[in-house]
Amino acid sequence: MNHAIILISCPDQRGITAAVTGFIYEHNGNIVHADQHIDNQSNKFFMRIEWELDGFKIAQDEIKKTFSAIAERFRMDWNLYFTQQKKNVAVFVSKPLHCLQDILLRFEQGQFACNICLIVSNHEDARPMAERAGIPFYYFPISSENKAEQESKQLQLLRENAVDLIVLARYHQILSRSFVDAYPQRIINIHHSFLPAFQGRDPYDQAFRQGVKIIGATSHFVVEALDAGPIIEQDTVRVSHRDTTDDFKSKGQDLEKAVLSKTLRWALDNKILSYECKTVVFD
Amino acid sequence: MNHAIILISCPDQRGITAAVTGFIYEHNGNIVHADQHIDNQSNKFFMRIEWELDGFKIAQDEIKKTFSAIAERFRMDWNLYFTQQKKNVAVFVSKPLHCLQDILLRFEQGQFACNICLIVSNHEDARPMAERAGIPFYYFPISSENKAEQESKQLQLLRENAVDLIVLARYHQILSRSFVDAYPQRIINIHHSFLPAFQGRDPYDQAFRQGVKIIGATSHFVVEALDAGPIIEQDTVRVSHRDTTDDFKSKGQDLEKAVLSKTLRWALDNKILSYECKTVVFD
Amino acid sequence: MNHAIILISCPDQRGITAAVTGFIYEHNGNIVHADQHIDNQSNKFFMRIEWELDGFKIAQDEIKKTFSAIAERFRMDWNLYFTQQKKNVAVFVSKPLHCLQDILLRFEQGQFACNICLIVSNHEDARPMAERAGIPFYYFPISSENKAEQESKQLQLLRENAVDLIVLARYHQILSRSFVDAYPQRIINIHHSFLPAFQGRDPYDQAFRQGVKIIGATSHFVVEALDAGPIIEQDTVRVSHRDTTDDFKSKGQDLEKAVLSKTLRWALDNKILSYECKTVVFD
Amino acid sequence: MNHAIILISCPDQRGITAAVTGFIYEHNGNIVHADQHIDNQSNKFFMRIEWELDGFKIAQDEIKKTFSAIAERFRMDWNLYFTQQKKNVAVFVSKPLHCLQDILLRFEQGQFACNICLIVSNHEDARPMAERAGIPFYYFPISSENKAEQESKQLQLLRENAVDLIVLARYHQILSRSFVDAYPQRIINIHHSFLPAFQGRDPYDQAFRQGVKIIGATSHFVVEALDAGPIIEQDTVRVSHRDTTDDFKSKGQDLEKAVLSKTLRWALDNKILSYECKTVVFD
């Protein structure tokens, strides 16, 4: 069954929900999910609404145009999605492969409604895993000299594949501003710490030296500043003096996988809205 | 500021949200919270909607009548609340006083928007705590002989105080069917286990003997069957072989307090809907 | 580096620790881990001690005999292990393969110091996964008629492979008493509920119908009674009215994997002692 | 029943456990708890051992001298405690009173085996609570001018009361180096964030602005640098876009209370050892 989903951000004001739900009802749509949130501090309104297209009286390719009148009236930032239009996803990865492996497994099990159309790496390590999964693998070794050039080739590749969403599944290269700007709110990163603690390199070693009693993992949208984009999801696990750095890594990797797969599912289901440096997740 | 809240359960069908939000918008209401849920298995629709009465064009005491037309059209079970009408709460307690104490502390700190109008017990232990808090205390010793008589006196007292909500904060008496029927979905109990495990007496001892590695606490609406009403909230905490039954009790009591206070806040904010043996909590 | 590990259970009495650590020191052993626990209710003493064999003055194959004098003096139940003697593990599985898959992945990543020498199933589903991992797969279809016969063939196979530990990674057959008795405290099961709640079939469906707000997974030693052996580990995850039974299953399967892999690691590291219906885990 | 407890830190070497447990056994002591830990990276050995004095053949006031020979042999940092010698505790607090209140409640319920001999504040807010509990209250208003003078009066007061342990239960003054040096590893602070994230002022506001999905609380020993001493315990709780800063505070305060009371219990039971910037907690 095909559903339409609209994601909305706009200044809060009277009548938004009535207008949106009225629009759907008037054209015989059946709402299956509706979530809204008002941030009183910024006076912003957020909404995710999903309805069945079966019986809906506006043709799928006319919905955008028809809804525009409402969107303009309320000065909405908005996007329209259809559940039958699967997103094209590219996974970027460096040497640690546990997150990629977890994504591929869940993908095989049908947990992710998307096309994983390419795997990109600055190392060769992931190639066998990609080949086993039957997904094209692209190797882009990165040095300070060739970085700009390689990124522009990567962007070319992403465009050719009409990629909608980029997942950095432990990709240890900082993306340039122009790369990030090409995919705003469409690049997801997993960082192996409880951000904002332990940004940058080797967060498990940092955490171990600090003697923390809990470690974490954080998924976020990528912005230009390192490990600083809007946080989407976090989770934590208890450690003790008995745990070595290897134990930190092993416990942490399980967290990373869980947080990243949850985030990817939300992204594919169009459940994440970001504003300022924050996110609203309609879980 | 006074807000109106409507809680709705009804068969799912097209147009409910449009009708409800249209009603509010048409009379110049400003929605501040809206949550809805559709249970596809039972084809039921649930909604909680809250709007500001400031500027609303229907007088507060006319809203019920005016909304009835919509309610009838969709065959709604529904209730209307106003945030300025604080609920009258009765707390029932036996010998362990930690939950009562926690409720009174949070009440003093302004966490509960209600009137705690009486404390009822089958023992004298809670009297000093009640007196310190300045809340009337009623002692109803219960035996198998006098139970029916005492319950009818309790019901009389509850009616005289126009009690809206009864909190069993570790009250170790089974309420009769007629008592429960007088306050449907309006009696909350805290049970000191992760239900449905360890119903009945001494759940911490049961858990200890069983050698579980996690213990829990559960809040639920009271129905006639013991510890079997719709679950509202649960939480768990880790235990180990190092923990004695006293440790189980001490860790568990902290859980009980946390779960019960969360539940009471939800109940006072009209965030809980129950159906069949389940609850929808619009957290 | 080879280490020796002794696991001890005995009546509590003065001098046990002094005797055991004195024995190791006297023969020039270097203790790397020592844990002990006294259960005051049953007056039982438990110990796990691990020391380096490098420089130890008793030959490896003489340790058992030499230590026996101490063991007899304190009436110990005890076992001696060497970290270089990897356990032989058999995995039993039925149709759901997520636990098997997780075990094989972690095994490949070097998280389990053991030999997985065979995979047994009452269905053919796991065969490809076993073959990909290069582990012998044995198919034993089970009916009420052939059960005794099949079990005796399985036991034969286990003996031939000198299996030390059996992991039921979602094996949906009840083992007979004689089977269980052949591997006391050496068969680990994962049950997909927070035991003792929801024993038996379809625990996620049971949990869903019950309307719980938290689900769990439990690992335990297998005894004759179904889902009733000593609990080794449990974990829980929050669910809400928004979760369907499929969501329960998906969240629960991640728990199952985490709990079972933790338990297997403990078992391989000889960190679990069981007594009565409980376990001591020297984590 | 009186127990002796020895806490030990020393370079790791053969024979420590054998020597310590041999000493206790030789003089007819009955060990009730023994925990040890070896940090392989720093090659340090840590031990906590507790034994019954009933029947022990060395007089209580001779134990220290007698054990010294062993301590010197292994170059131990060590301390001897007796469970019947309750620690004298001073609680420092500023305006938020929830942690103080929680400590006093648990103290009344018998959860803390100590004497709370004084409550110190730079504000008058806690006076009524102190008086209700019958604990002397001392008001030391602090300004940049009088800080050194007030601290020296506080130290005088602490000495007069033979205070063993200082609990900063949300005391919003930075202690000077000389103050901290007078009570090394004997001043416990609760910080209302998941350290090292959000040090300093208003961590809940910082966390809110950052858009984190989990908040935390951290207890630590106080050193001269702000919020930087060895971490003893941490805990976290989930927040969402629906939570306001007030919700962050309310959820966080429950964490603070839980973490601080756990830490205080461990400190009173002599279960915490600190080294470098870390702690070993023999929980």
Closest CA to C90 of C151, C152, C135, C142: C135
Rounded to whole angstroms, the Cα distance separating B206 from B198 reads 6
Domain residues for C29?
3-82
Quick one: C37 and C159 in the same domain? no
Q: Which residue of C has its CA nearest to D39?
A: C32
For chain B, what percentages of helix, strand and coil (3-state, to nearest 5) are there? Answer: 35, 30, 35
| Across D160-189, average pLDDT | 97
Number of H helices, E strands in chain D: 8, 13
| Digit-coded pLDDT (tens) for C228-266 | 899 999 999 999 999 999 999 999 999 999 999 999 999
| Digit-coded pLDDT (tens) for D70-79 | 999 999 999 9
Quick one: B69 and B141 in the same domain? no
Predicted confidence at residue D258, as pLDDT, reads 96
Task: Examine the pLDDT at D84 and tell me if it is beyond 90.
Answer: yes
Query: What ipTM does the predicted assembly reach?
Result: 0.94
| Digit-coded pLDDT (tens) for D17-28 | 999 999 999 999
Rounded to whole angstroms, the Cα distance separating C114 from C119 reads 14
b/e per residue C192-211 (b: at least 16 CB within 10 A): bbbbbbbbeeebbebbbebb
- Cβ of residue C29 closer than 8 Å to a chain D Cβ: yes
**Inter-chain residue contact D242 with B283, CB threshold 8 Å:** yes
pLDDT tens for the 283 residues of chain A, in order: 899 999 999 999 999 999 999 999 999 999 999 999 999 889 999 999 999 999 999 999 999 999 999 999 999 999 999 999 999 999 999 999 999 999 999 999 999 999 999 999 999 999 999 999 999 999 999 999 999 999 999 999 999 999 999 999 999 999 999 999 999 999 999 999 999 999 988 999 999 999 999 999 999 999 988 888 999 999 999 999 999 999 999 999 999 999 999 999 999 999 999 998 999 999 8
Coil, strand or helix: which one is B71? helix
| Amino acid occupying residue D40 | N
| Across C198-219, average pLDDT | 94
Quick one: D185 and D75 in the same domain? no
Number of domains in chain B: 2
Quick one: D143 and D192 in the same domain? yes
CA distance D200 to chain B (A): 25
Quick one: B102 and B223 in the same domain? yes
Closest CA to C279 of B242, D281, B248: B242
Longest Cα–Cα distance of chain A, Å, equals: 63
Contacting A residues, span 216-275, partner chain B, CB-CB under 8 Å: none
Rounded to whole angstroms, the Cα distance separating C222 from C202 reads 19
Closest CA to A111 of A94, A95, A89: A89
**Is the overall model pTM greater than 0.90, yes or no?**
yes
Q: Which residues contact C39 (CB under 8 A, 6 or more apart)?
A: B241, C12, C46, C275, C280
**Inter-chain residue contact B36 with A38, CB threshold 8 Å:** no
Query: Cβ-count burial of B186 within 10 angstroms (0-12 exposed, 13-18 middle, 19+ buried)?
Result: middle
Q: Which residues contact C59 (CB under 8 A, 6 or more apart)?
A: none
Report the sign of the C-alpha dihedral through residues A167, A173, A174, A178, in that order: negative
- Cβ of residue C125 closer than 8 Å to a chain B Cβ: no
Task: Examine the pLDDT at D276 and tell me if it is beyond 90.
Answer: no
Longest Cα–Cα distance of chain D, Å, equals: 63
Rounded to whole angstroms, the Cα distance separating D104 from D71 reads 38
Q: Which helix (H) or strand (E) holds B62?
A: none
Task: Examine the pLDDT at D222 and tell me if it is beyond 90.
Answer: yes
Quick one: C120 and C44 in the same domain? no
Quick one: D62 and D180 in the same domain? no
**Inter-chain residue contact C231 with B210, CB threshold 8 Å:** yes
Domain boundary among the residues C66, C82, C98 is at: C82
Judge contact between C242 and C251, C-beta under 8 A.
no
Predicted confidence at residue B283, as pLDDT, reads 87
Task: Examine the pLDDT at C117 and tell me if it is beyond 90.
Answer: yes
Interface size A-B, in CB pairs within 8 Å, comes to 49
Q: Which residue of D has its CA nearest to A241?
A: D280
**Phi, psi angle pair for C95, to nearest 5°:** -85, -40
- Cβ of residue A73 closer than 8 Å to a chain B Cβ: no
Rounded to whole angstroms, the Cα distance separating B216 from C213 reads 11
**Phi, psi angle pair for B98, to nearest 5°:** -65, -40
Rounded to whole angstroms, the Cα distance separating B9 from B75 reads 9
Q: Which residues contact C14 (CB under 8 A, 6 or more apart)?
A: D25, D28, D29, D30, D31
Quick one: B24 and B108 in the same domain? no
CATH of the domain at C56: 3.30.70.260
| Across D248-262, average pLDDT | 96
Q: Which residue of D has its CA nearest to C22?
A: D18
**Inter-chain residue contact C283 with A242, CB threshold 8 Å:** yes
Q: Which of B213, B231, B241 sits opposite C211 (nearest CB)?
A: B231
CATH of the domain at A227: 3.40.50.170
Judge contact between D264 and D242, C-beta under 8 A.
no
Quick one: B180 and B194 in the same domain? yes
Beta bridge partners of B34: B49
Q: Which of D209, D230, D235 sits opposite A211 (nearest CB)?
A: D230
Q: Which residues of C have a catalytic role annotated?
A: 227
For residue A17, list chain B residues with Cβ-Cβ distance below 8 A: 17, 21, 25, 31, 34
Quick one: C123 and C91 in the same domain? yes
Rounded to whole angstroms, the Cα distance separating C234 from C220 reads 9
Predicted confidence at residue A204, as pLDDT, reads 94
A164 is catalytic: no
**Which tokens belong to D32?**
């009730």
pLDDT < 70 stretches in chain B: none
| Across C45-67, average pLDDT | 97
**Inter-chain residue contact C105 with A109, CB threshold 8 Å:** no
> Could you give the count of Cα atoms lying within 13 Å of B128 in the half-sphere of its Cβ?
3
Domain boundary among the residues C82, C101, C134 is at: C82
Longest Cα–Cα distance of chain C, Å, equals: 63
Q: Which of B14, B22, B32 sits opposite A38 (nearest CB)?
A: B32
Q: Which of A214, A230, A241 sits opposite D234 (nearest CB)?
A: A214
CA dihedral B121→B125→B126→B131, nearest 10 degrees, is 120
Q: In which band, very low, low, confident or very high, does the pLDDT at D172 lie, cut at 50, 70 and 90?
A: very high
**Which tokens belong to C208?**
């869903």
For residue D37, list chain A residues with Cβ-Cβ distance below 8 A: 241-242
Domain boundary among the residues A33, A49, A82 is at: A82
Q: Which of C196, C212, C244 sits opposite B231 (nearest CB)?
A: C212
- Cβ of residue B175 closer than 8 Å to a chain C Cβ: no
For residue C98, list chain A residues with Cβ-Cβ distance below 8 A: 109
Predicted confidence at residue B20, as pLDDT, reads 98
CA distance D241 to chain C (A): 17
For residue A250, list chain C residues with Cβ-Cβ distance below 8 A: 111
Quick one: C199 and C262 in the same domain? yes
Would you say how long chain C is, in residues?
A: 283
% chain C with pLDDT above 70 = 100
Question: Could you say which DSSP state residue B60 is in?
Answer: G
Q: How far is the CA of D207 from the CAs of A262, A275, D213, D257, in angstroms? A: 22, 16, 9, 19
Quick one: D75 and D176 in the same domain? no
| Across C153-164, average pLDDT | 98
Testing the interface with B: which of C241, C259, C275, C278 to mutate, by most B Cβ within 10 A?
Answer: C241
Task: Examine the pLDDT at C268 and tell me if it is beyond 90.
Answer: yes
Q: Which residues contact C85 (CB under 8 A, 6 or more apart)?
A: none
Q: Is the peptide bond before C136 cis (omega within 30 degrees of 0)?
A: no
For residue B32, list chain A residues with Cβ-Cβ distance below 8 A: 38
CA distance C207 to chain B (A): 9
- Render C86-134 in DSSP notation, one character per residue: PEEEEEEE-S--HHHHHHHHHHHTT---EEEEEEEESSSTTHHHHHHHT
